[in-house]
Structure 1
Amino acid sequence: MGANLVSVCNEMMKINETVLRLSARLNATNVLLDNFEQNMDALSEYLVHDESCGKVIEEAARESAEAGVKLINKADIGVQALISSKLSVFYVNPECNNITGMAIYSDASPDHTSSSGKLSYRFLYANESAERLKREPRLETAAYMPGHLWRQLRHKGASYFVLKVFANDALFVETSMQSRPRPDVKVLSITIPGYDDKLPNPVQFLLRKPKQVGVVCAYWNYTTWNESGITTGSNMFDDIVLCETDHLTHFSVLLGVDLPEPHKPILSVLTYLGCGLSLFGMLGIFLTAMLVSKWREQASTKVLLHLCLALSLQLSLFLYFTSGHWSTQENGIGCLISGAVLQYSVLVVFSWMLIISMLQFQRYVTVLGVDRPHHYILISAIVAWSLPLVPTLLIVFLDRTSYKLTQDAFCYPTGNGLLLGVVLPIALVTIANAFMMIRIVYSVNQALRSRRKLIFQQMRLFVLLFFLLGITWIFGVSSYIFSKLIIFSYLFCITATLQGLVLFLYFVIFNATHRQAWLKFICPKLVKVDAPKDKTQIQSTTFSISSSKKNAVKVN
């Protein structure tokens, strides 16, 4: 009976996700899961009863040909197991030999007992150390009852310990249309038949997670994955996450940690508001370039317009894909296309910010000997618009399964695809831009040391460079690394989304010539445009990329 039940669930976990989602709407997956748990737990008193302890077992292991399940019978030491390709169930009677748990490994080491395929396992005893287990190579998952906890549970009537390991989360289907983080690792079920109360002391379990990915421990409540009552002891550099819980059920770790509920709607509003203001600002820059012919003909303006075009593309795609107009299914072609396009648009913006940073560095720091090619604007455009194709196409062809739905219902790279295809390039460009910005500000401060009255102009230059060069993404990288510090998420949402608006203020609103041009366009009879008496007024909020051997410090 046990082998047949495991075989049924094992086959169900191979079914197409769309079919399982349709079944979940009728609550079929939850009914199956609940009945499976109850029936399997009820078998424990027959498989590892106290009377079996110490008795010789003639047939310790055999294969169930009908069900495709491997049966491991070690009832003499209080252990029996039913193992299939996607689901394994371990029964433990700690009273037989002080075994209180199991550890599963991804290899067939001589130190472990081979199970099926490449997996192996070993018994865990009441005196095990979770921290030592965490350091064991190729550990996939582990759970055990410490000696003091089992004695307390034994006093309350507990007799057996059942551990079920699901290879994926196929049977744990959320019916809500709201996309939330979900497991991409094994699901662990820990039960004590006949005991449903809260544990007198927390129990620890371990699960392997993808490297460089922030996770949070959670349990399945037959509706969704919930994190309450569970402690996560891990950082992004750990291979194994250590979880601690005060109750028993199905557990896993969620990838791409969701934001706490009070903060998520606030950050969403800030994001959409900032994106809208940035798009408005960049529209103002494009209209100003159309209105002021001399300004749009400058090489510096052409670079700025390319940046604004790339930024407008990125924000427009983000708003479109998150608005629900683009229907995507996880692992579908639509998810792949939208995720790759979004990734490309972000990297294009950073390519232009890196080019602008290098040009500004040449202007303010490397003043002499700058010799640019004749068509360097065209060359820059080719590089900036084509270079981001390299990491994007590498992820598409080498790790296309990393494009998955996020909690905001749009597709984007996850796991190593996110780390190598998005976070790493952004981090490298941001660090390089931050270094060049510091050198620029230092160079300007040294040149104007004797002119303290220009401190306000220096501060304006610093703020402009901070937004122009994308230094705001330092907060984004920090929020990825330090996912528990919500302050970085707020700083990132407020600053990064306002980049277009800040550029509009500096290059249009704060520029006297452009203000006068707009006033003349709106009210030509009431406004008389006079050229500024001081040429430096025109240059106060623009940046130059000309190859000049003159003094390059012009911030006033």
Structure 2
Amino acid sequence: MRNGHLMLLPGLLMLLLLPLGAASQKASASQSLTDSTRYCPANSAVFNDTSCRCSPGFNSSSGEIFYNGSERCEDINECGPPSVVSCGKFADCWNTEGSYYCTCSPGYKPASGARTFRDESENTCQDVDECSSGQPMCHESTICINTVGSYKCRCRWGWEPKPGYQNRQPNTTCEEMSFPTWTPPPGIKSQRLSHFFERVQDLRRDFKPALAQDTIQHLIREVDELLETPDDLEALPRSEQHCVATNLLVGLEDVLRTLSQALPNGIMTFNASAGTDLSLEVQEQGHRNVTLSSNQVKMLLNWDVAHESGDSGRSVVGLVSTPGMGKLLAEARLVLEPERQAVLHGAHKGVLRGVSSVLLSHVISAFMSNSDTQNLSSPITFIFSHHSVTRGPMQKVFCVFWDHTPDGYGHWSTAGCRMVATGDTSTTCQCTHLSSFAVLMAHYDVPVEDPVLAVITYLGLGLSLLCLLLAALTFLLCKAIQNTSTSLHLQLSICLFLAHLLFLTAIDRTEIKVLCAIIAGALHYLYLASFTWMLLEGLNLFLTARNLTVVNYSSVSRVMKKLMFPVGYGVPAIIVAISAASRPLLYGTPTRCWLNPGKRFIWSFLGPVCTIFSVNLAFVLMTLWILKSKLSSLSSDVSTLQNTRMLTFKATAQLFILGCTWCLGILQVGPAAHVMAYLFTIINSLQGFFIFLVYCLLSQQVREQYGKWFKGIKKTRAESEIYTLSSRAMSDASKPSTHFTNLEAEGSGHTS
């Protein structure tokens, strides 16, 4: 029994110790939690008893969970990169510590009534109409116009901004509009013009913004009457008539631009008995495309162009047609842009005899409320209707504008305008600025060439073709002289022969534009190839002269053989390919199948040519210097002296062969231009003759080969003659034998 009780003691002891163990474990866990809490930094919490985790909206440098006690949990900017939050359209994001919120942008308010929201799905921002808020947003002299997210203050109809208060939102202040100043041109005496400006001053004194339509109608009528019967204006000198026209065009445009601001929205037309016509459109926000018609002219533009002035809302577009203005602008000068002048004048040679122009359309003026219309973002299209006209072979239609100078004078110009299409009764133009426009037809005489120069050109090129052909055959057939120099001579002769032949036969074939462009491209390539081979000739000449003083020349000769064909034919091909790819339409002119000088395209030929003959001139001068030094050091060896002198003569002749004489073309200016033209034509048309003379006739080896050929020809001719004589002799000898046989036959017959 006692032993039984003793056995129960350990069990009871275990039961008593269990609560103590649980309490001990609970105390240990509590101690661990306390240590971990003390271990984690601010804006973080304990994670798995051994680490810390940043609270939502915060992050540490090592990540969301970390173990290092020196880490810090810093705020995440949800409104900026890399954590970009989308609040939606017309809303702004605001960052807070550990979070963010969204609000509507200024000028917008939430339709839900909530001041803040969290993401794009809760966005209900909409525009606030500041003009109906009940608060005075604009000055009493202006009208408030609501815009998306904001508002504008615009002058009332018939009012204009005070000086210094233009576009100063929201403090724009306006005053009642006054008639703009318009004074007559100084120094011109005319009763009709004086009477006209008296009537303009009457309109100015009586002007009221509310009566703007009536004032514009009276003004159009006054201009119409002045242009219908100009009377003493037509007796003025042409320069003064042009000055009056400039004053009328510019002044009328300025007055109408100002007065139209007092008109209500819509399209209005004003016309007078003699044909002067005004079409206006005034809109707050017009249609995208606008079309105005006035008499025989139609104008098409994009409404956005009219809004580019930064005006407070209303825009005006106007078109004025003044048929009588042509009387004052008769015989006005036409100034063309360089590329169009080149198209008109055409040929690269000859003298322009004269230019005259005839107005085909009415003179029109286009204007906007925006006065700065010199560089519009998109072109304005004008369609002019005119009487049926048949153009002659030397007549061209141009879209022009009246370009006036500060002193009041002016001339017709094509700058900024281009012709889109033209027919017998209408012409379409596009211009990148606004002014006074018209369509005119320019008539010009055919450029007259000097007949003596033409004869010299054809005779010289004909002789050169013959000499180049003989030279090419010599270089091909004369094996005794075939070397690197001969290969250069042969390629130069071939390129020049083809270029001269194509020039003589096809330079005037302008009937088919595509064919003419191909001919121009071929001439461009052949002449550039000729000059490239001239450059290689100059280099070879210099190296040959240098060989007199340098022993090792074989390596240079090998390099020349490898590079001359890729350079001679490859370089001009690259130049022509780049030129054709960049400006393909400038190959061919109306009168010549050659490069159009417009847009400086001619420099795609002149640039390489000037470079080549400059380098060749340097090569020739260095060669002559080397030969001079060689001559001074020579002994009395007659044969060597003669060879060196012959080389000196050839080096001098290279000035003509290597194209250095083309610099005479640049000197055709001033009093000596005529003489230089003759020298240029004579020397350069005989370039093939110089090649045949220097490389063939003056070469001893070639002359010896010519002698062998001539001897061979004589021998062949002599053998042919001997053969012919022997044939005749044999024929004559055979005739008696035949006769004898016949006689013998006859004798046999008688005997029998």
For residues 104 and 457 of structure 1, do their structure 2 counterparts lie closer, same or farther at Cα, with a shift above 3 Å needed? closer
Q: Distance in 2 between matches of 1:361 and 1:209?
A: 50
C-alpha displacement of 1:333: 2.3
**After superposition, what is the alpha-carbon deviation per residue over 1:211-231, rounded to whole angstroms, capped at 9, x for unaligned?**
xxxxxxxxxxxxxxxxxxxxx
2:486 match: 301
1:472 match: 661
**After superposition, what is the alpha-carbon deviation per residue over 1:21-50, rounded to whole angstroms, capped at 9, x for unaligned?**
xxxxxxxxxxxxxxxxxxx9999349959x
Match of 1:488 among 672, 676, 680: 676
CA contact (8 A) 1:445 1:458 kept: no
C-alpha displacement of 1:278: 0.9
Name the aligned partner's letter for residue 114 of structure 1.
T
**After superposition, what is the alpha-carbon deviation per residue over 1:376-413, rounded to whole angstroms, capped at 9, x for unaligned?**
32431122111111121111111111112264x32434
For residues 394 and 290 of structure 1, do their structure 2 counterparts lie closer, same or farther at Cα, with a shift above 3 Å needed? closer
Name the aligned partner's letter for residue 506 of structure 2.
F
Report matched runs for 1:18-167 at 5 Å: 44-45=227-228, 58-59=259-260, 62=281, 65-66=292-293, 67-69=297-299, 82=319, 113-114=372-373, 117=376
CA contact (8 A) 2:507 2:593 kept: yes
Match of 1:319 among 504, 508, 513: 504
Q: Distance in 2 between matches of 1:337 and 1:250?
A: 32
**After superposition, what is the alpha-carbon deviation per residue over 1:68-121, rounded to whole angstroms, capped at 9, x for unaligned?**
32899xxxxxxx99589xxx9995999xxxxx999999xx9x99642784699x
Q: Distance in 2 between matches of 1:388 and 1:101?
A: 41
1:364 match: 545
Q: Distance in 2 between matches of 1:395 and 1:53?
A: 44
Name the aligned partner's letter for residue 292 of structure 1.
C
Gaps of 5+ in 1: 1-39, 73-79, 95-99, 121-163, 177-181, 192-202, 211-248, 528-556
For residues 112 and 380 of structure 1, do their structure 2 counterparts lie closer, same or farther at Cα, with a shift above 3 Å needed? farther
Report matched runs for 1:414-433 at 5 Å: 414-416=597-599, 418-433=601-616
For residues 276 and 396 of structure 1, do their structure 2 counterparts lie closer, same or farther at Cα, with a shift above 3 Å needed? same
Report matched runs for 1:54-453 at 5 Å: 58-59=259-260, 62=281, 65-66=292-293, 67-69=297-299, 82=319, 113-114=372-373, 117=376, 173-175=391-393, 205=411, 261=448, 263-295=449-481, 297-322=482-507, 324=509, 328-329=511-512, 332-365=513-546, 367-368=549-550, 370=553, 371-372=555-556, 374=558, 376-405=560-589, 407=591, 409-416=592-599, 418-449=601-632
Q: Distance in 2 between matches of 1:487 and 1:464?
A: 22
CA contact (8 A) 1:70 1:83 kept: no
**Corresponding residue SS for 1:405:** coil
Name the aligned partner's letter for residue 358 of structure 1.
L
Q: Distance in 1 between matches of 2:443 and 2:398?
A: 7
Give the 4+ runs in structure 1 shifted more than 6 A: 40-43, 51-57, 100-105, 182-186, 188-191, 249-254, 450-456, 481-484
C-alpha displacement of 1:517: 2.8
C-alpha displacement of 1:502: 0.7
C-alpha displacement of 1:442: 2.3
Name the aligned partner's letter for residue 175 of structure 1.
P
C-alpha displacement of 1:472: 1.6
CA contact (8 A) 1:464 1:506 kept: yes
Say which is worse superposed, 512-521 or 391-400, in terms of deviation. 512-521
**Corresponding residue SS for 2:659:** coil
Identity of aligned residues (%): 19
CA contact (8 A) 2:460 2:685 kept: yes
**Corresponding residue SS for 1:114:** coil
TM-score normalised per structure 2? 0.39
**After superposition, what is the alpha-carbon deviation per residue over 1:453-473, rounded to whole angstroms, capped at 9, x for unaligned?**
979757623442112211121
C-alpha displacement of 1:374: 3.5
Name the aligned partner's letter for residue 458 of structure 2.
Y
* Residue 697 of structure 2 corresponds to residue 509 of structure 1: yes
Q: Distance in 1 between matches of 2:465 and 2:335?
A: 53
Q: Distance in 2 between matches of 1:518 and 1:428?
A: 37
For residues 511 and 413 of structure 1, do their structure 2 counterparts lie closer, same or farther at Cα, with a shift above 3 Å needed? same
For residues 475 and 449 of structure 1, do their structure 2 counterparts lie closer, same or farther at Cα, with a shift above 3 Å needed? same
For residues 91 and 387 of structure 1, do their structure 2 counterparts lie closer, same or farther at Cα, with a shift above 3 Å needed? same
Q: Distance in 1 between matches of 2:479 and 2:517?
A: 41
Aligned residues: 359
CA contact (8 A) 2:461 2:685 kept: yes
Give the root-mean-square deviation of aligned CA atoms: 5.4
Q: Distance in 2 between matches of 1:388 and 1:356?
A: 16
For residues 189 and 427 of structure 1, do their structure 2 counterparts lie closer, same or farther at Cα, with a shift above 3 Å needed? same
Q: Distance in 2 between matches of 1:115 and 1:209?
A: 11
Q: Distance in 1 between matches of 2:335 and 2:477?
A: 70
Name the aligned partner's letter for residue 513 of structure 1.
Q
CA contact (8 A) 2:478 2:705 kept: yes
For residues 103 and 411 of structure 1, do their structure 2 counterparts lie closer, same or farther at Cα, with a shift above 3 Å needed? closer
CA contact (8 A) 1:466 1:472 kept: yes
C-alpha displacement of 1:352: 0.7
Q: Distance in 2 between matches of 1:204 and 1:349?
A: 47
Match of 2:687 among 499, 502, 519: 499
CA contact (8 A) 2:529 2:568 kept: yes
Q: Distance in 1 between matches of 2:254 and 2:534?
A: 72
Rg: which structure is higher? 2
Q: Distance in 2 between matches of 1:103 and 1:389?
A: 37
Gaps of 5+ in 2: 1-222, 230-244, 262-279, 282-289, 307-316, 338-366, 417-438, 716-752
Q: Distance in 1 between matches of 2:376 and 2:530?
A: 46
Name the aligned partner's letter for residue 488 of structure 1.
M
C-alpha displacement of 1:429: 0.8
**After superposition, what is the alpha-carbon deviation per residue over 1:335-388, rounded to whole angstroms, capped at 9, x for unaligned?**
321111110111101111111111222232475365327463243112211111
Which structure has more relative contact order (CA 8 Å, sep 6+)? It is: 1
Q: Distance in 1 between matches of 2:226 and 2:670?
A: 45
Q: Distance in 2 between matches of 1:253 and 1:404?
A: 21
For residues 501 and 59 of structure 1, do their structure 2 counterparts lie closer, same or farther at Cα, with a shift above 3 Å needed? same
C-alpha displacement of 1:280: 0.7
1:460 match: 649
Name the aligned partner's letter for residue 474 of structure 1.
C
Name the aligned partner's letter for residue 519 of structure 2.
S
For residues 204 and 443 of structure 1, do their structure 2 counterparts lie closer, same or farther at Cα, with a shift above 3 Å needed? farther
CA contact (8 A) 1:282 1:504 kept: yes
For residues 378 and 318 of structure 1, do their structure 2 counterparts lie closer, same or farther at Cα, with a shift above 3 Å needed? farther
CA contact (8 A) 2:538 2:619 kept: yes
